[in-house]
Amino acid sequence: MSQPLTATSYAVLGLLSFGRELSGYELKQDADRTLEFFYRAPSMSQVYRELDRLTEAGLVKARSVNRPGAPPGRVYRLTAQGRRALTKWVESPAPRAELRHHPAFRLFLGHMANPAVLRRQLEDHRQRLVETLASLRAVRASIGDDPNVRHAALVAEWGIELHEGELRGLDQVLDRL
């Protein structure tokens, strides 16, 4: 009996759905570069655990490789069954988006803090927001209009609007604080 898969399992499956065979290590790097913007990138060890699980369930298949410039390892690809399972998951109703907004949490409890410290917190967050926006714009630009990653481009555009809204709101807060 195979245990039920989680969103993280499908994240790994999803990264393999773009056609390239990937090692656990490469999967982690991909996750850090793409998934990170709208989901949580799993830890290295979690990636390997998911790969074991997905292999056992027959959704991915490993192949041993000896690549130049790297120690021997394994690369994974989707099986036909994995492809079907992924499609089914993508088409199943998505749970609501979850937000764990620590800086907003601090603001909510602002009556407990020194006002200058609170403002500093928000300004630090503003800096990170600006950086995130720059990364997102760089990602969007690097994609161009490659139809292969059309949806990734849309996600990037969506993320830009979302973060611009957050930045506008934050500036408003800093004004009124």
Partner DNA sequence: ACAGCCATGTAACTCGTTACATGATTAC
Partner DNA sequence: GTAATCATGTAACGAGTTACATGGCTGT
User: Where on the chain is the footprint of a copy of itself (CB under 8 A)?
Assistant: 7, 10-11, 14, 17-18, 34-35, 37-40, 83, 86-87, 90-91, 93-114, 117-118, 121, 124-125, 128, 148, 150-152, 154-155, 157-166, 168-170, 172-173, 176-177
Distance (Å, whole) CA 13 – CA 9: 6
Please state the closest distance from residue 57 (CB atom) to DNA, in A.
12
Which H helix or E strand runs over 73?
A: strand 73-78
Closest CA to 177 of 112, 105, 122, 124: 122
Residue 57: contacted member of DNA, a copy of itself, none (CB under 5 to 8 Å, by partner type): none
Please state the closest distance from residue 74 (CB atom) to a copy of itself, in A.
23
Environment class of residue 121 by beta-carbon count within 10 Å: exposed (0-12), middle (13-18) or buried (19+)?
A: middle
Which H helix or E strand runs over 56?
A: helix 44-56
Pairing of strands 60-65, 73-78: antiparallel
Which residue's CB is nearer to a copy of itself, number 72 or number 142?
Answer: 142
Please state the closest distance from residue 8 (CB atom) to a copy of itself, in A.
10
Please state the closest distance from residue 124 (CB atom) to a copy of itself, in A.
7
Please state the closest distance from residue 69 (CB atom) to a copy of itself, in A.
30
Residue 154: contacted member of a copy of itself, DNA, none (CB under 5 to 8 Å, by partner type): a copy of itself
- Binding residues for DNA, per CB under 7 A? 3-4, 6-9, 23-26, 40-46, 48-49, 51-52, 67-75
Which residue's CB is nearer to a copy of itself, number 66 or number 148?
Answer: 148
What single-letter DSSP state applies at residue 127?
A: H
Q: Which residues of 140-163 are buried (b: 16+ CB within 10 A; e: fewer)?
A: beebeeeeebeebbebbeebbeeb
